[in-house]
Amino acid sequence: MKTYLVTGATSGIGEATALQLAQEGHTVLALGRNEERGRDLERRGEGRINFFPVDLSIPSDINRFFEDTKEQFPTLDGIFNNAGTFGKPVAPERVTDQQKEVFQVNYHAPEQIIQHAVKRLSRGASIVNNSAIVGHVKFPAMLLPYASSKSALLTLTKTYAARFHGKYRFNAICPGPVDTKLSHSLYGGKDKFDLAMKHHLRGEAAQPSEIAEVVCFLLSDKASYINGQTLVVDGGYTLT
């Protein structure tokens, strides 16, 4: 059984992934800000999920997490860099410094996590970065900081894959719309989101568990020959 680090584990795709990994018998270090949801996740994690409150917009929080866990969890077998934020949708020509937090959480935090983790990764460890179709195959004008941070994450993924020659694997997923709080907030609530999803190729968004299934595969040794790849997981959304 393996030990995995999952960020953004208190909700949506990260929560579904943490729970699936625990069900498969793995130990999960689950990061998030919401303590109540984090403790609840621990309770549902069959004794295998350990919650750590970490705000990824604060680099010293990330340093502290790695320092605090180095003795209890000296080896990591994989990471799901999942946490993300849209920031405030704004026209590209109006982007200000306030949007810098988007880049911090979506790009710099995964980068910092990988820099720390490479000292603890087991041979064959797998890193999966959660990017998006936005910034890869779709470019909504109001989401420039989000899209560019997710695009940068793809470059980070491929650069690290090339750097380590298969000693550790680095892949990215690009989900289409998923039924989570993040996407509800972008559409102005769940009802509006569900209505908009009627125009999805299959008439509805993904459930977080459908994305978790793909992530758990990429994290596992079953995906041992997949490295440096970007996998679009969108139910055909970008075909239309």
Ligand X SMILES: NC(=O)c1ccc[n+]([C@@H]2O[C@H](COP(=O)([O-])OP(=O)(O)OC[C@H]3O[C@@H](n4cnc5c(N)ncnc54)[C@H](OP(=O)(O)O)[C@@H]3O)[C@@H](O)[C@H]2O)c1
Report the 3 state secondary structure along the chain: CCEEEECCCCCHHHHHHHHHHHHCCCEEEEEECCHHHHHHHHHHCCCCEEEEECCCCCHHHHHHHHHHHCCCCCCEEEEEECCCCCCCCECHHHCCHHHHHHHHHHHHHHHHHHHHHCCCEEEEEEEEEECCCECCCECCCCEHHHHHHHHHHHHHHHHHHHHHCCCCEEEEEEECCECCHHHHHHHCCHHHHHHHHHHCCCCCCECHHHHHHHHHHHHCHHHCCCCCCEEEECCCHHHC
Angstrom distance (rounded) from CA 43 to CA 30: 12
Alpha-helical regions (H) of 89-129: 100-103, 109-117
Q: Is 132 in the site for ligand X (CB under 6 A)?
A: yes
Considering the rule CB under 6 A, would residue 175 count as an interface residue with ligand X? Answer: yes
Compute the least distance from the CB of residue 166 to ligand X, in Å: 26
Coil, helix or strand for 209? helix
Asked if 180 touches ligand X (CB under 6 A), the answer is yes
What minimum distance in Å lies between the beta carbon of 144 and ligand X? 14
Candidate list 19, 83, 156, 215; residue touching ligand X; CB under 6 A: 83
Name the residue with tokens 């609530």: 189
Contact 32, 55 (CB under 8 A): no
Contact stretch for ligand X (CB under 6 A) within 42-50, 79-87, 164-172, 222-230:
79-87
> Which residue, 63 or 224, is less far from ligand X as judged by CB?
63
84 binds ligand X (CB under 6 A): yes
Residue (3 or 180) nearer to ligand X, CB = 180
Asked whether position 230 contacts ligand X by CB under 6 A, the answer is no
Among residues 180 and 227, whose Cβ is nearest to ligand X?
180
State which residue, 103 or 164, has the beta carbon closest to ligand X: 103
CB of 147 to ligand X, least distance (A): 10
Using CB under 6 A as the binding criterion, the count of chain residues that bind ligand X stands at 26
Least CB distance to ligand X at residue 121 (A): 21
Q: State the binding string over 16-55 for ligand X (x if CB under 6 A, else -).
A: ----------------xxx--------------------x
- Give the binding range for ligand X (CB under 6 A) out of 12-20, 87-95, 119-127, 212-220: 12-20
Which residues contribute to the site for ligand X (CB under 6 A)? 8, 10-14, 32-34, 55-57, 82-85, 105, 130, 132, 175, 177-178, 180-183
